[in-house]
Structure 1
Amino acid sequence: MSDDLTSKPGVDIERSKQERIDLLVRLREVTRQRDELLSQYESMAFQVDESTKDVDGALLEARANAKRAEACEVLERQESAQIAELTRQLDEERRKSGEVASDFARYRSSMEQKLAEHAQREDPWILLAFAISQILSQSVAWVRAKIPADSPFLPWFDRLVEFAKTAGQLAFEGGKAFFEWAKPHVIELWKRLKSEIAQRTSKG
């Protein structure tokens, strides 16, 4: 009886020590598992953060590419519009050049025909006056056709043309009269000069 009483406290002490040891082992294991879990969480958080950065970078790059594509599209539209405008201007210039060339060809053909009809006239003044009048009338008609009908400059242009016609006609008539007057005097003077030269030559 006494042996059981003396041995029981020792057994309890050993058991208590063993339980403490087991508890410490379990605590260490739990702590290790906790640290591993925290480490895994930290790794996952780092990966999520890196993935977020990659997504943000890809999103920024996609936005930048979209802006560049939009800018290129706007630039392409502007260049296309400029090319279309330049093409239109070139076509307009070609059309105007063609009209001018066609007008000049018709004018030249008409002038050649009319001059051929009047080429048999003996008086050179009449032929010259006809040629000048045809050139001026055709030129004036061509310029007047280019002026808009509602332009305030048109009446002044007509007045200027009328004044030029009157002045030209007066100058032509004056020139013709002077030529007719001077012609016999020049001939007579030339005859006298030839006679004087002949006399001096014979004396020498």
Structure 2
Amino acid sequence: MNKPVLSASLCIALFLAAPGFAFAQPAPDPSAPGSSASITQLNSEDRGFLTKAAESGYMEIAGGKLALKKSRNAQVKQFAQKMIDEHTRLGEQIQALVKKKGYETPTQPSLVQAAKLKALELRDDGFDEAYGDEIGVAAHEDAIELFEEAAGHATDNDLKRFAADTLPLLKRHLDMARALRKAIKDPAS
């Protein structure tokens, strides 16, 4: 897919996703979990980490499901299933942590991530390579950076520990993604 078509696809995906965010949201219940009264124990950086970590996981899961549907490569499908399984478990850990902290996270990828997934879904030629690059390698590089920042700088000790404990898994995923990308680009090796 050429760059103008990919750019147009991203713009269309963002345009289609945006109307849902234009509707007014109901006023928050101050006694409900996730209200400003109950999330004062987390600063904005810690809440931002939880939000981005949840969105990242949902992108990995959605990307994996897309790969299972579109790919014909057994290695890609095996990697995708592993990402679905492990990011689902990781998402459950994040949800348990946010519940404990009285905070709520998104239940889907961010708008930008959703647009990337939509563009990936529109690919036929080169899907496996794009999946390996964008969902496998780039997304895990971003996640590692996010989790390293939280492991070093989160003010909440539970979050700091969770981020540090999760880093080895994310680094293994990145190594697997790089190996997959290499196998896709050079099947003879």
Do the structures match in fold with TM over 0.5? no
Output the TM-score relative to the length of structure 2.
0.30
Output the TM-score relative to the length of structure 1.
0.28
Structure of larger gyration radius: 1
More helix by share: 1
